[in-house]
Structure 1
Amino acid sequence: MAILHALLALMAACVVFALLARRTQLPYPVVLVLGGMALALIPGMPEIELDPQFAMAFFLPPLLQVSAIRTDWTAFKGNIRPILLLAVGAVLFTALCVGAAMKLLIPDFPWAAAIAFGAIVAPPDAVAAAAVLRKLRLPPRIVAVLEGESLINDATSLVLYRFAVVATMAGTFSWSEAGETFLAVSIGGAAIGWVIGRATIWASARLHDTLLETAASFIACYAAFFAAEALHLSGVIAVVVTGLVLGRAQHRLSANTRSQSRAVWTFIEFVLNSLVFILIGLQLNVILDRLDDYPSWHLALLAVAVSLVLIVSRFVWLFPASWLPRQIPSVRRHDPMPPWGHITVLSWAGMRGVVSLAAALALPVTFPERDLLIFLSFCAILATLVVQGTSLEWVIRRLGVEEPRRANMSVEEAAARTLIAHAALRSIERRAEDVLDGAIAQDLLTEYRDRVRLLDGVNQGPIAAERASRLEHRLHALRAGRDRLLRHRREDGLDEHLMNRLVDELDLEELRLRRLLGAADG
């Protein structure tokens, strides 16, 4: 019962802190971490040890898969070069820079152990960045690169971390062996993920049940992770590939399955992200109790130095990595140099998260300076979340990277909606020629022709205003219908199942109208 009480209390705290984040306009991971720290300092608060193996096995698979499912595969492929430069190149470069800084500050520290610590804090966590990016209208390429980086960088850092830990304990390290093994575990993990993803699609097509299909997608992430780890391959890569495969096939699902599974995964993502960040904050009292023997000034110096190296090294890597490939004429011709403001935003969006803390906690008990490394990992997470997380929105607005809100629907969206409308009109026109059902189809022709007219001129002032007005009228009519249904239920009674079905229909229609109205209004 104690575990249940603690879990419910943490969930309640997550809701409160998430609401506070909304009121204060701060990224909610920052508020959750600071809130967890505050809770940890309450007298009598029990110590909470976050088991690293549990954290990585329980939290990572669903969070990675939901990100992969949402990933725009076309954008991912189109930006594979900058994504790999960040997810592989920047992670390795940052690990080397942090390792060199640790070696400089603590000369007796083994090189392999310093690289292991660099691998721990090297991968940025996209959750805090996403909390800011969702509120802004950024160029699609920035979002695609950040999302793509977050899918791969954990695998890069964890493979390097494993090799560096083994080398520290054994006293030897081989870069060539590490490179070969990285390729092997990555390719093997990708193969496992593809198989699990295809198997899940095959099974879902035969379940014909929304609840079972959603459960299958949830099981898939853990199946991919544990299958790959059991074969000593990359579980992270396996989950990412499974998510990409499922994301590519999600449009084959029924509308009901897509709608309900999206709601389930959104809830799971919120719960897991919230618990992760509040648990990071709650580790503070456990970590500080182990560092009584270290002078405070020394700890502060190390923490500041590591945090600065983390932030600066990403800038040092990103600007040359963006400029140098474009010295090749073919690359420059097909992919011109982006504005410096875009590169600055990508450089500043380098907050660390749960992977770094879990990897630090997973260090062997006999690892050199283990407690110190855990403390520095926590400080890196906290510093990047607070400093970069709270200022990312300001940096984006200050550099003018945010795209202005369009007064009308985008050209791409208008073209897609017009294709749908024309196809629907042609279908009705063909049916209007039918001898038996022609009269019914004729009654619908006016509506479908009117829809095509509005979409053909969607970005023209008068038609756009007319379209927005029509949507507003439909929304008012829908609200009136819902109000009347509620009065009918109170006055005359109504079967609960029938009531729920009718309300679901009204809700879906309202969501559709609001999306269309949002597109019309910008």
Structure 2
Amino acid sequence: MFVFEWIVAVLVGAVLLAALARRVGAPYPAFLALGGVGLALAPGFPNLRLDPDLALALFLAPVLVDAGYATSLRDLRVNWRPIAGLAVGAVLVTTLAVAVVVKMLVPDMPLSAAIVLGAIVAPPDAVAALSVLAHVPLPHRLTTILRGESLLNDAGSLLIYRLGVAAAVTGHFSLSEVAPAFLLGVVGSLIAGPILARIYLWGMRWVSDPASSIVLQFAAAFGVWIAAEAIELSGVLTVVSFALVVARYAPERTAPRPRILSYAVWDTVIFVLNVLAFVLIGNQLGPILERLRAAENLPFAMVAGSVLLTVVLVRIAWVLPASGIRRIGFAEARRSKDRSVLDLGNAFRKGIAAGGREASDLGPGAGFAVSWAGMRGLVTIAGALALPESGPNGAFPYRDLIVLTAFAVVIGTLVIQGLTLRPLLAWLKLEDTDPVGHEVGWGRAEAYGAAIESLEGDESEIAEALRREFRLVVEEAEAHEEGLAPEGLPADDARRRAIQAARERILALRRAGEIGDDAFFVLEEEFDWTELSATPRAET
């Protein structure tokens, strides 16, 4: 019961910290990290332990599925150069730089263990960065790059991590022996993920219940990871490729109700996983700090501080000179004078299809914004927690130092960079041409045009009323210089007023005892769906 009470208290505290973070415009993982420090120092905190083999699957599988589902393949293709530079180049350089620095400070640490530490702290966490960027206007392309980086850098860093852990535990490593199996695992993962996605999509055709659908989504996320690891493939690459394929085909096969419910559940689960990760890392820090002798405090602090400084400076040094964030290569949308919404071949739409971004040199300001958005988070914590605490040769070499350093890097980047990123972006004044808004407006006009066509031949009064409403939207889009439709239908305001009056009436009937709760909840759900259909996304 004691542990349960602590869990409830921690979850409530995390909600309060997240609310405070939103109020000040900071990433909520930064406040969770500070909460983790408090738990590490709190007396009487229960001793919680997680099987290291379970840590990566528990924390990473759902996070990778969630990130993969929200990632656009089109945008990945358009921005593959800067994303690859960050996800591969920056990870490798950071891993090597951290390993060199740690070996200089701790000569007795095995090189494999130093590389493992480098791989743990190398990948930034998009959850932290995007929680800040959601409150600050930023060129959409930079957001796309950061999201794509976070999706792919986990794969690179964890592949290095796995090789380093195997070398440190066994004391033996041969590139000639590992390389073939490594390459086979990468290729096999990229094949297995899409195959498993097709099987999953086929099976989900028979599931219509929202609760069952959501449970199977999580079962698939963990099942794909477990299956990949069982046959010695990369769990990360398999899950990411699985998620990308599912995201491509699932929307046309999913009913609205399960989709809306699943989005809410997944957001909640990702939040809870972040909370649990910081609780567990804080739980491990307490015993580590107790085991440290006074003579070890300063050396450990020096290593942690040096690694923190290294990961920050290496990212800046990698991003700014490389400046892979330059021109996008499409100027048709800007140059074109043809804005007719009915012309499917117009240059604006071609620009959207080519990448949806405006051709411009974003300059060093954008590069510095990307370099400063390198906060570490859940992946780093999961990697540290997954290190073996025991084995044939004892615990993982310098495990306490690695865990302590990993947490220091997480809290340091989240607090220093996370709390300063928003004012930095405000100072840089990076402009966003709102390409997503343009795509939404253009897509809405096309969709309502198709809706009008679907009603041809239907002479009923209801069909005519719908045609009139849809035509007003299409006419407004045709009058717009870029062919963008307004956010809502003309009758949406009146519809919301009517729904509100209906809600007040059924509440009065319920209070008077004229209808029971069962009837009330059925009517309430009907009005909820009707109001959602009348409310623009930005207002929900």
How many angstroms does 1:230 deviate by? 0.5
Q: Hey, what does 1:371 align to over in structure 2?
A: 400
Match in the other structure for 2:216: 216
In structure 2, C-alpha distance between the alignment counterparts of 1:323 and 1:197, rounded to whole Å: 32
**CA deviation map 1:200-250 (0-9, x unaligned):** 100111223333222222211011000001111111111112211221122
Q: Quick one: structure 1 residues 443 and 121, their matched pair in 2 at CA, closer, same or farther if it must change by over 3 Å?
A: closer
Moved over 6 A (4+): none
Residue matched to 2:534: 513
TM-score, normalisation: structure 2: 0.84
Report what 2:55 is aligned to. 55
Distance in 2 (CA, whole Å) between partners of 1:398 and 1:501 is: 50
Q: After superposition, what is the alpha-carbon deviation per residue over 1:355-404, rounded to whole angstroms, capped at 9, x for unaligned?
A: 32332344344443322222111111111111111111122211112537
| Alpha carbons 1:193, 1:238 under 8 Å: kept | yes
Question: Are 1:504 and 2:504 counterparts?
Answer: no
> In 1, distance between residues paired with 2:461 and 2:312?
69
- 1:396 and 2:397 aligned: no
**Equivalent in the alignment of 2:29:** 29
Unaligned stretches of 5+ in structure 1?
A: 329-333, 433-437
Question: Does the 8 Å contact 1:475/1:513 carry over to 2?
Answer: yes
Equivalent AA in structure 2 for residue 491 of structure 1: A
Contact 2:452 2:467 in 1 (8 A): yes
Q: Give the root-mean-square deviation of aligned CA atoms.
A: 3.1
What is the DSSP-based 3-state SS (H/G/I as helix, E as strand, rest coil) of the residue aligned with 1:401?
coil
Tell me, in whole angstroms, the C-alpha distance in 1 between the residues paired with 2:40 and 2:181.
40
Deviation at 1:36, TM superposition (A): 2.4
Residue 254 of structure 1 and its aligned partner are, at CA, apart by 1.4
8 Å Cα contact 1:34/1:281 also seen in 2: no
Letter in 2 for 1:477: A
CA pair 47-248 structure 1, distance change in 2 beyond 3 A = same
The farther-off stretch of 225-234 and 75-84 is 75-84
> Which residue in 2 is equivalent to 1:331?
none
**Distance of 2:33 and 2:221 partners within structure 1:** 26
Deviation at 1:415, TM superposition (A): 1.7
Alpha-carbon contact 2:188-2:233 (below 8 Å) kept: yes
Aligned to 1:448: 470
Deviation at 1:314, TM superposition (A): 0.9
* 8 Å Cα contact 1:33-1:280 kept in structure 2: no
Partner of 1:98: 98
Aligned counterpart, 1:259: 260
CA distance in 2, matches of 1:516, 1:262: 14
Alignment match, 2:369: 345
Q: Contact 1:200 / 1:216 at 8 angstroms: preserved in 2?
A: no
Residue 450 (structure 2) pairs with residue 423 (structure 1): yes
Deviations 1:294-346 (A, max 9, x none): 443323322221101000111122234335999x9xxxxx9875422222121
CA shift digits 1:162-203 (9 cap, x unpaired): 222333455554456555444322222222222221111001
User: In proportion to residue count, which structure has more helix?
Assistant: 1
**What is the alpha-carbon distance in structure 1 between the residues aligned to residue 249 and residue 50 of structure 2?**
35
Match of 1:118 in 2: 118
- Is 1:10 the equivalent of 2:10? yes
Q: Quick one: structure 1 residues 443 and 135, their matched pair in 2 at CA, closer, same or farther if it must change by over 3 Å? A: closer
Instruction: State the TM-score, normalized to the length of structure 1.
Output: 0.87
Residues 92 and 355 from structure 1, CA distance in 2 versus in 1: closer, same or farther, beyond 3 angstroms?
A: same
Using a 3 Å threshold, how does the CA distance of structure 1 residues 455 and 298 change in structure 2: closer, same or farther?
same
Secondary structure at the aligned position of 2:323 is classed as helix
Q: Deviations over 1:59-81 (max 9, x none)?
A: 21111111111112211222222
Aligned equivalents of 2:182 and 2:359: distance in 1? 29
For residues 482 and 144 of structure 1, the distance between their equivalents in structure 2, rounded to whole angstroms, comes to: 40
Cα shift readout 1:251-288 (whole Å, capped 9, x = no counterpart): 21112221222222222222222222343334331221
Confirm or deny that 1:413 pairs with 2:413: no
Contact 1:47 1:286 in 2 (8 A): no
Task: Report the more deviating stretch, 205-214 or 61-70.
Answer: 205-214
Counterpart of 2:166 in structure 1: which amino acid? Answer: V
Q: 1:470 to 1:44 in 2, by over 3 A?
A: same
Between 503-512 and 397-406, the greater mean CA deviation after superposition: 397-406
- Counterpart AA for 2:439: E
Residue 259 of structure 1 aligns to a residue whose secondary structure is: helix
Letter in 1 for 2:383: A
Equivalents in 1 of 2:534, 2:208: separation in Å?
A: 28
Deviates more, 1:231-240 or 1:11-20: 11-20
Equivalent residue for 2:505, pick from 479, 484, 505: 484
Residue correspondence of structure 1 range 208-357 to structure 2 within 5 A: 208-252=208-252, 253-323=254-324, 338-357=362-381
Name the CA shift for 1:376/1:404 in 2 (closer, same or farther; >3 Å).
Answer: same
The whole-number CA distance in structure 1 between the counterparts of 2:486 and 2:326 is: 43
Q: Which runs of 5+ in 2 are unaligned?
A: 330-357, 389-393
Residue equivalent to 1:435: none
Which residue type is aligned with residue 431 of structure 1?
Answer: D
Identity %: 39
